[in-house]
Structure 1
Amino acid sequence: MSGTSVVGGPVALGGVVGFLLYGIYGYLIGRAVQAKKITLNAFWLSLIGAGSVLVVLPSFFVSVDTARASSILQNVWGWLLAANLLSVLVVGFATAHAYKTVDLGQKLLAKNRENELLGLALRSSDPVIITDRTGITEWVNDGFTRLTGYRPEEIIGKKPGDILQGEETDMNTIAHMRRAIADGNGFDVDIINYSKLGVPYWVNVSCSPIKIGSVTKKFVAIQKDISDKIESAAAMRQAKEEAETANKAKSEFLATMSHELRTPLNAILGFGQLLRMDTTHSLTSKQTEYVDHVLSSGEHLLQLINDILDLSQIEAERLPLHLESFAAIDVIRDCEATLLPIADKNGVRIIVASSDRSAPQIKADQFRVKQAIINLMSNAIKYNNRDGKITIEIASIDDAFQRISVIDTGKG
């Protein structure tokens, strides 16, 4: 159709090439500005705008012949230059203003953070050190001087570790602190430092970076003397180790003693059994009774020794119980017979208040009941008056329980 223009085709291709050239130019300019750290003022923005006109010129020759392209450029050259300059200036100043606003905000936040840390440092009674980003001391407070003995002029301009660390300072902790400072990060460690007099002490160091944007400018380190805490923990560990050593020695002693006691006791029981079984030399009834008491007491003692050998159960308070039904009076009579020689020697009478075998039987560990009664009666004999007495009573509390009482005439 004559006189009709078509949008697209070769003309559109020229526009695409123009936008592509603008994009490449803008990217390269941005990289250069960033690398050279150029401040974008009116001069630089005008120069960039003028350059963009030159960069886009080839796109005019993509869609039409050279004569037609030259004619178009002659007509629009001034407008193209003015438009590019204006757009670059507007966008450049707007972007610069935005960056300046963001940068100002970051600086204000960093300044507030710095003021907070510095305020904390000034108010703190604990030692405080302020260093530059490389760890060189710029300021210390009075708390630092009180703890270390170093005056400000003796440490300012130096790294704290160069004068505070010594032979007992942990090298791994030092390496961790140095890595953190090199990376611009804070740290929190416990470390051994040395005072000016060479006295070692434990200190907790909490170090925080002061940053502007992502760049660390200073470090504020607050220290806390934890020597008492560390020494208390060490004393507790030592006490625990000593207790474990003493407990081990006690266990070994009891085990050895128990074995040593069982040897002569087994001999006594063996001879007692031989006397009881000897048919060639008949014993009188009284002698037989004495031998029975020896054997009964020996068996009771042997059971006690076996309990000592079972140290794990004693220490855990989990002695096994063997429940059985038996008459309490039989156990009491057995205890009376066992302790009668000692009672006679001390001039103490033993009285069993009840000998009623028809009383209900009790269900318990017979050996443990006997052991408890013997312990009570032994104490009653030991602390009684001469010509005193011990009375053992059995009384029913209800259908389920019986009470065994050991009553003495001693002062206790």
Structure 2
Amino acid sequence: MRISVIGCGYLGAVHAASLVELGHEVVGVDVDERKIHALCQARAPFYEPGFGDLLRSSLATGRLSFSTDIAAAAGARVHFVCVGTPQKHGEYAADLRFVQAAAESLLLVVEAGDVVVGKSTVPVGTAAGLATMFTEKVPGTSVAWNPEFLREGFAVRDTLYPDRLVYGIPEDGERIVGILDEVYARIVARGIPKVVTDYATAEMVKTAANSFLATKISFINAMAELCEATGGDVKQLADAIGYDDRIGRKFLNAGLGFGGGCLPKDIRAFMARAGELGADQALTFLREVDNINMRRRIRMVELAREVCDGSLLGKRVAVLGAAFKPDSDDIRDSPALNVAAQLQLQGAVVRVTDPAAVDNSRREWPQLDYVATAEEAAERADAVLLLTEWREYRELDPVAFGEVVAQRRVLDGRNALDRDAWTAAGWTYRALGRRVG
């Protein structure tokens, strides 16, 4: 099948290359000339494990191309909309300008029988509005919503081996189901669970999932606040409740909280849309979820100040991690960079390192000092903060690493280190919600 993908950012580029892997002919379209040039040269414009290899192999087939001209999408049978929906400036609501622009550009090339498939995370009602626009202006076209569930660091695997497929279709959308089944034929053949539903439900699935995960993360971080007040240990608490299979242990690692381009803006957009629909009381709890998450950053700065004898002025602090999560160069709403900047504002001499996100960080946070390795960051440091749990940081040798610093003080912002090993090596170990080690 010939398919177009509109928007070649993180979602779109991975989706386009994956569709080629699934056997299709794909053209990716984006207005960003530098991004398209990089993709045409088989250079990934972002860090994502496995994507570079997938991009090169897909281009080598001759069935993947990229263009800045929407005319390149002409003749495709299915058109995926994969553009971003960032948070509006000064508001909680999602900014749909890019979705609207992508849809309007497609009006120039779609034909009767084509299916426009949204993958972007959008507020309820978006799909129905676009469906009306397409059917009025190009009779015979159809709209479906097929939300994405990519995790940064696992995007290729999540695309090719998803844990479910969701199709949001109109009432008379049986034909669309058949077309989407053809798009995902190799995935469907493996018996992957499939939910065929209405537009509204499909639009809510991603934001509902992200809201649930955000709530779980903030719940355990609220428990960390209580553990600090009572002398309890949040890791042992999480282990104990995690054995209950109704709860599970995943996403119960207390620490610095969530960031990135999805969870924060998605829960805020969910609240905003609920308010517009007159159902704001249903999601008021998400405001506290957001508040708890932001308090973790403040508490980490407070903890650093406590460890540094009550003052950060002139203290050398190493920050390990800049990306919002490991295996990514995404720094959007990064808790690590937020904490690093606050430490610097309070007078600390901060040095930041990250295996993948230094270049992005330097562009967005030029006031911070960046180095290439953990050892460089920690040279003569008065405290070391682990704020993004990259594997290479989790596996640091606390004995050898201790020879680099001025003071063996480590703050584990992700509860990712072996506390016993670090304390045995002479480090003072502190973490949110943990007893002093």
TM-score when normalising by structure 1 = 0.19
Q: Which has the higher contact order (CA 8 A, sep 6+)?
A: 2
Q: Which has a greater percent of helix?
A: 1
Asked which structure has the greater CA Rg, the reply is: 1
TM-score when normalising by structure 2 = 0.18
